[in-house]
Amino acid sequence: MPSVLPTGEVVYSADAVRGEILMPDYLLSEFTRAKAPRVHWIKVRGDSMEPTLLPGERVMVDTTDQHFGQGGVFVIRDPDGEILVKRLRKLKDGEIELVSDNPKQPPMVHRADEIGILGRVVGRLARL
């Protein structure tokens, strides 16, 4: 499970790192404004984001983009420390709704200070 340092840097335990996906700068810039070290790939677990994202797919996360005001799909750390991929919606009174694309999964509501936003999902790597 990754940790987020006060500087915003995301740090993974050694057993969580499986390798690197290297992309040319021109291709990376089509998805994000971040430099390669600030773009992370996370493996999707579970069916909560089906049909948009399937279990086993990898999503590209721009860790420099944590602004969820306009919504979108983000990787977050929930209050229990679990890493989740969810749509975020800003509610009133400092609350955030975590929404799954799978209608079988109900939305969750948390205070903004209860979760950590690791970054915006900007792409995916999937089998055809």
Q: How confident is the model at residue 18 (pLDDT cuts 50, 70, 90)?
A: low
Q: How far apart are CA 99 and CA 19, in angstroms?
A: 30
The reported pLDDT for the residue numbered 17 is: 57
Question: Would the CA dihedral through 75, 79, 82, 84 be positive or negative?
Answer: negative
User: Span 40-66, mean pLDDT?
Assistant: 92
The reported pLDDT for the residue numbered 37 is: 80
- Domain ranges, residue 128: 44-128
Q: How far apart are CA 56 and CA 28, in angstroms?
A: 22
Contact 97, 115 (CB under 8 A): no
Q: How confident is the model at residue 68 (pLDDT cuts 50, 70, 90)?
A: confident
User: Span 69-85, mean pLDDT?
Assistant: 91
Count structural domains, the chain: 1
**CATH label of the domain that carries residue 120:** 2.10.109.10
User: Span 35-43, mean pLDDT?
Assistant: 85
- State yes or no: pLDDT of 89 exceeds 60: yes
Q: Is residue 15 part of a domain?
A: no
